[in-house]
Every structure is written in C-alpha cells, then in structure tokens.
Amino acid sequence: EIVMTQSPATLAVSAGERVTLSCGASQGVSSNLAWYQQKPGQAPRLLIFGASNRATDIPARFSGSGSGTEFTLTISSLQSEDLATYYCQQYLKWPLTFGGGTKVEIK
C-alpha cells in the first residue's frame, strides 16, 4: 500500500497570506495525485488532478506541483472561505489512498 503523508497537520494563516501544503508518498506515484478540499460539514471537493491541473470552477489561487514522491498545494492568497481540511490522494496503485489531511485555520 502506498502511504500518503501530509504536513503540517494544522496550519493557522492570516487572510491574504500565501499557504503551502505538503504531501509525500511512500513510493513514487508519478503525477497520479489529486487534492481535495473539505469544508466543515460538507463533502470533499476535487481541487487538483494530475498533480497540477485545476478542476472545473476552481479559482486560480489554487495550484498544485510536484511529481514522484513530493507534492505541494499552494493557495496564493488565502481567503476566509478557504477554511477547510485539504487531502491528497494517490491513484497510481490499489488501494487508492489518502493522506491524513491538513486543516487550514484563519488567524
């Protein structure tokens, strides 16, 4: 099983600041990496697929990068509505696995 590790577990950031979230894979997954946003009490929403491709209707302030074992999700200027937990997911091998999530809080 490919283990996905996210850091930090929690991040407190002021509105307008740049946010960088990390995701690591226990073995290379090429670019088979997706990012999801889950707001409190809501279902997850796809943000990024293929490590760097924004999903439909996702604002340009969200961007993804990386390949192999190290990935990054960047929010260029944090908005209050970005308060959420963010998960990465690899889809190279079965079982499909998620990271433990990074909770982004607004200072």
Partner 1 sequence: QVQLVESGGGVVQPGRSVRLSCAASGFRFSDFAMYWVRQAPGKGLQWVAVIAYDGRNKFYEDSVKGRFTISRDNSMDTLYLQMNSLRGDDTAIYYCAKDNGKLTPHYYFESWGQGTLLTVSS
Interface residues with partner 1 (CB under 8 A) are: 32, 34, 36, 38, 42-46, 49, 55, 87, 89, 91, 94-101
CB of 94 to partner 1, least distance (A): 6
Torsion angles phi and psi, residue 74, rounded to 5: -120, 135
- Report CA torsion sign: 46, 89, 15, 76: negative
Q: For residues 91 and 106, which CB has a smaller minimum distance to partner 1 in the complex?
A: 91
Least separation, in Å, of the C-beta of 46 and partner 1?
6
**Cβ contacts of 81 within 8 Å, gap of 6 or more:** none
Nearer to partner 1, 27 or 77 (CB): 27
For partner 1, the closer of residues 18 and 39 by Cβ is 39
Looking from the CA of 78 toward its CB, the CA atoms found within 13 Å total 20
